[in-house]
Structure 1
Protein backbone atom coordinates (compact mmCIF):
# COMPACT_ATOMS: atom_id res chain seq x y z
CA UNK A 1 0.00 0.00 0.00
CA UNK A 2 1.28 3.46 -0.86
CA UNK A 3 0.13 6.57 0.95
CA UNK A 4 0.86 10.20 0.26
CA UNK A 5 1.48 11.56 3.75
CA UNK A 6 3.29 14.74 2.76
CA UNK A 7 2.26 17.51 5.18
CA UNK A 8 0.09 15.05 7.15
CA UNK A 9 0.35 14.53 10.91
CA UNK A 10 1.91 11.20 11.89
CA UNK A 11 2.19 9.92 15.46
CA UNK A 12 4.82 7.38 16.48
CA UNK A 13 4.21 5.91 19.92
CA UNK A 14 7.41 4.68 21.56
CA UNK A 15 10.97 5.86 21.59
CA UNK A 16 13.07 2.74 21.15
CA UNK A 17 14.81 0.95 18.31
CA UNK A 18 11.65 0.17 16.33
CA UNK A 19 10.43 3.76 16.67
CA UNK A 20 13.80 4.96 15.39
CA UNK A 21 13.41 2.77 12.32
CA UNK A 22 9.89 4.08 11.71
CA UNK A 23 10.92 7.71 12.04
CA UNK A 24 13.94 7.18 9.79
CA UNK A 25 11.60 5.77 7.13
CA UNK A 26 9.08 8.61 7.58
CA UNK A 27 11.52 11.54 7.41
CA UNK A 28 11.79 11.61 3.59
CA UNK A 29 7.98 11.83 3.28
CA UNK A 30 7.91 15.36 4.75
CA UNK A 31 5.15 14.33 7.13
CA UNK A 32 4.78 16.19 10.43
CA UNK A 33 6.05 13.56 12.88
CA UNK A 34 5.15 13.58 16.56
CA UNK A 35 6.89 11.17 18.94
CA UNK A 36 5.09 10.15 22.13
CA UNK A 37 7.33 8.39 24.64
CA UNK A 38 8.83 8.95 28.07
CA UNK A 39 12.31 8.17 26.68
CA UNK A 40 14.03 8.35 23.28
CA UNK A 41 17.01 6.69 21.64
CA UNK A 42 20.04 8.86 20.89
CA UNK A 43 19.05 8.91 17.22
CA UNK A 44 15.56 10.22 18.05
CA UNK A 45 17.00 12.86 20.39
CA UNK A 46 19.07 14.10 17.44
CA UNK A 47 15.93 14.37 15.29
CA UNK A 48 14.20 16.34 18.05
CA UNK A 49 17.20 18.68 18.45
CA UNK A 50 17.28 19.23 14.68
CA UNK A 51 13.52 19.96 14.80
CA UNK A 52 12.77 17.12 12.37
CA UNK A 53 10.21 15.68 14.81
CA UNK A 54 8.20 16.88 17.79
CA UNK A 55 8.52 15.01 21.07
CA UNK A 56 5.79 14.77 23.68
CA UNK A 57 7.22 13.17 26.79
CA UNK A 58 4.29 11.05 27.93
CA UNK A 59 3.65 7.59 29.30
CA UNK A 60 2.70 5.63 26.20
CA UNK A 61 0.90 2.83 28.11
CA UNK A 62 -2.01 5.11 28.96
CA UNK A 63 -2.03 6.48 25.42
CA UNK A 64 -2.17 2.99 23.89
CA UNK A 65 -5.13 2.11 26.08
CA UNK A 66 -6.89 5.29 25.03
CA UNK A 67 -6.27 4.64 21.35
CA UNK A 68 -7.15 0.94 21.42
CA UNK A 69 -10.13 0.89 23.76
CA UNK A 70 -11.72 4.31 23.51
CA UNK A 71 -11.26 5.04 19.81
CA UNK A 72 -9.65 8.40 20.48
CA UNK A 73 -7.71 10.29 17.87
CA UNK A 74 -4.67 12.38 18.66
Structure 2
Protein backbone atom coordinates (compact mmCIF):
# COMPACT_ATOMS: atom_id res chain seq x y z
CA UNK A 1 0.00 0.00 0.00
CA UNK A 2 2.79 2.44 0.92
CA UNK A 3 4.57 1.73 -2.38
CA UNK A 4 1.41 2.49 -4.37
CA UNK A 5 0.83 5.76 -2.52
CA UNK A 6 4.45 6.77 -2.99
CA UNK A 7 4.31 5.95 -6.72
CA UNK A 8 1.12 8.03 -7.13
CA UNK A 9 2.75 10.88 -5.25
CA UNK A 10 5.79 10.80 -7.55
CA UNK A 11 3.54 10.72 -10.64
CA UNK A 12 1.55 13.66 -9.30
CA UNK A 13 4.72 15.67 -8.62
CA UNK A 14 6.09 14.93 -12.10
CA UNK A 15 2.83 15.99 -13.76
CA UNK A 16 2.66 19.07 -11.59
CA UNK A 17 6.23 20.05 -12.52
CA UNK A 18 5.48 19.50 -16.20
CA UNK A 19 2.34 21.64 -16.02
CA UNK A 20 4.20 24.40 -14.17
CA UNK A 21 6.86 24.41 -16.89
CA UNK A 22 4.20 24.60 -19.61
CA UNK A 23 2.43 27.43 -17.80
CA UNK A 24 5.68 29.38 -17.39
CA UNK A 25 6.45 28.95 -21.10
CA UNK A 26 2.97 30.08 -22.14
CA UNK A 27 3.16 33.12 -19.86
CA UNK A 28 6.45 34.19 -21.42
CA UNK A 29 5.00 33.75 -24.93
CA UNK A 30 1.99 35.87 -23.96
CA UNK A 31 4.26 38.62 -22.58
CA UNK A 32 6.19 38.72 -25.86
CA UNK A 33 2.93 39.09 -27.77
CA UNK A 34 1.72 41.84 -25.43
CA UNK A 35 4.92 43.80 -25.95
CA UNK A 36 4.68 43.29 -29.72
CA UNK A 37 1.15 44.67 -29.81
CA UNK A 38 2.17 47.81 -27.93
CA UNK A 39 5.07 48.67 -30.23
CA UNK A 40 4.65 51.69 -32.45
CA UNK A 41 6.18 52.28 -35.85
CA UNK A 42 8.92 54.29 -34.13
CA UNK A 43 9.71 51.31 -31.89
CA UNK A 44 10.10 49.12 -34.98
CA UNK A 45 12.34 51.73 -36.65
CA UNK A 46 14.47 51.93 -33.51
CA UNK A 47 14.87 48.14 -33.40
CA UNK A 48 15.93 48.13 -37.05
CA UNK A 49 18.49 50.88 -36.43
CA UNK A 50 19.90 49.00 -33.44
CA UNK A 51 20.05 45.82 -35.52
CA UNK A 52 22.06 47.72 -38.14
CA UNK A 53 24.44 48.99 -35.46
CA UNK A 54 23.15 52.56 -35.46
CA UNK A 55 22.86 54.61 -32.29
CA UNK A 56 22.41 58.26 -31.42
CA UNK A 57 26.16 58.91 -31.61
CA UNK A 58 26.57 57.49 -35.11
CA UNK A 59 23.52 59.50 -36.23
CA UNK A 60 24.96 62.70 -34.75
CA UNK A 61 28.29 61.97 -36.43
CA UNK A 62 26.55 61.60 -39.81
CA UNK A 63 24.65 64.86 -39.26
CA UNK A 64 27.85 66.69 -38.34
CA UNK A 65 29.57 65.38 -41.47
CA UNK A 66 26.60 66.43 -43.60
CA UNK A 67 26.75 69.94 -42.11
CA UNK A 68 30.45 70.19 -42.90
CA UNK A 69 29.77 69.19 -46.51
CA UNK A 70 26.90 71.67 -46.78
CA UNK A 71 28.89 74.53 -45.30
CA UNK A 72 31.88 73.88 -47.57
CA UNK A 73 29.55 73.68 -50.57
CA UNK A 74 27.95 76.99 -49.55
CA UNK A 75 31.39 78.60 -49.18
CA UNK A 76 32.30 77.46 -52.69
CA UNK A 77 29.26 79.31 -53.98
CA UNK A 78 27.45 76.19 -55.10
CA UNK A 79 24.59 76.91 -52.69
CA UNK A 80 22.98 80.33 -52.47
Question: Could you say whether these structures have the same fold, taking a TM-score greater than 0.5 normalized by the shorter chain as the test?
Answer: no
Q: TM-score range by the shorter chain?
A: under 0.3
Larger radius of gyration: 2
Bigger relative contact order (CA 8 A; separation at least 6): 1
User: In proportion to residue count, which structure has more helix?
Assistant: 2
User: In proportion to residue count, which structure has more strand?
Assistant: 1
- Tell me the TM-score normalised to structure 1 length: 0.24
- Tell me the TM-score normalised to structure 2 length: 0.23
